[in-house]
Amino acid sequence: MRILLWHVHGAWTTAFVHGPHSYVVPVLPGRGPDGVGIARTYAWPDAVSELPPEALRDEPFDVVVVQRPHELELLDDWLGRRPPAVYVEHNAPQGAINEMRHPMAGRDDLLLVHVTHFNDLFWDAGGTPTRVIEHGIPDPGERYSGELPRAAVVINEARRRARVTGTDLLDRFSAAAPLDVFGIGARDLPHDQLHDAMARRRAYLHPIRWTSLGLSLLEAMHLGMPVVGLATTEVVEAVPPEAGVLSTRVDVLVDALARLIADPAEAAERGRAARAAALARYGLDRFLAEWDEVLEIVAEGVPV
């Protein structure tokens, strides 16, 4: 198939474009949010190409993957038509529980795909057909050494997102171990270098209060890192007890982090369990197979 999608979430898109299709991402001068083009810090296959909006109108597309509401308007402006569409919701809803109606609610002209069951549970789709395709990521390999008695944390825009990402909790966790914060606005490394840096730290700290499911968590697990994290959102499904410690009590997590830092053998054992769990549930082959099924359904216009 020939698929049009915007480069919105680099890690998710990296997994998605590893499928057997041809992928086109829009590119704009300056590479702003609606035209980021091909990734520069992620490894994408040659099956991905970038085109400016004026070159899209005459291009044939079997499916368009929409990830933000205004992309439907961009389709009208740039293509003058709307190919069969699937809308991918990456984010958990914000606001009061009774007001969490999805922007694509109440539609019969597209399929709404959530990346976690948590998202599907909390968003009100209003009758729009939905599916859940859980994350899958390219396996970075078991790189864990845990040689540094420190914890890795990956948070993008940690200061701005504040309580959402648990940035305010970092001081409390720093009493248990030195923290190395990576991500946009902190130590922002190319993807492969980030994996190497994470794997040298003894544990992965996931202080996120409210999110869909951070892909950096799944990457840490694939690397073979033990996890200490808040028992919120989809994390409770992703991290089994043998892979780390989850709790809504920060004091419990602080103690757990201190224990893992002090006990490299336990940290390594839990890290091996984390990697096994991640490979079993969030492997790339399963992810791409489920997407192939959905893309075929959408392209053929089959009721879902």
Domain ranges of the chain: 2-137+284-300, 148-281
| Dist. CA 216–CA 166, nearest whole Å | 15
| Start-to-end CA span in the chain (Å) | 19
Q: What is the pTM of this model?
A: 0.94
Q: What is the mean pLDDT of residues 74-86?
A: 96
What per-residue confidence (pLDDT) applies to 92?
A: 94
What per-residue confidence (pLDDT) applies to 93?
A: 95
What per-residue confidence (pLDDT) applies to 276?
A: 98
Residues 6+ apart with CB under 8 A from 102: 89, 93, 112, 123, 124, 125, 126, 128
Q: What is the mean pLDDT of residues 87-110?
A: 95
Decide if domain 148-281 falls under CATH 3.90.1300.10.
no
| DSSP one-letter string for 136-173 | -B----------EEEEEEE-TTHHHHTTTTTGGGHHHH
| Dist. CA 204–CA 97, nearest whole Å | 30
What are the two backbone dihedrals, phi and then psi, of residue 154, each rounded to the nearest 5 degrees? -120, 115
Residue type, 204: Y
Mean pLDDT of the chain: 95
Classified by CATH at the fold level, domain 2-137+284-300 comes out as: Rossmann fold (3.40.50)
Q: Which residue has the higher pLDDT, 211 or 202?
A: 202
| Dist. CA 286–CA 280, nearest whole Å | 9
302 falls in which pLDDT band (50, 70, 90)?
A: low
Domains 2-137+284-300 and 148-281 share a fold: yes
pLDDT tens across 220-232, in order?
Answer: 999 999 999 999 9
What per-residue confidence (pLDDT) applies to 160?
A: 86
Q: What is the mean pLDDT of residues 34-48?
A: 94
pLDDT tens across 134-189, in order?
Answer: 999 999 999 999 999 999 999 988 788 889 999 999 999 999 999 999 988 788 89
Nearest to 209 by CA among 168, 179, 173: 168
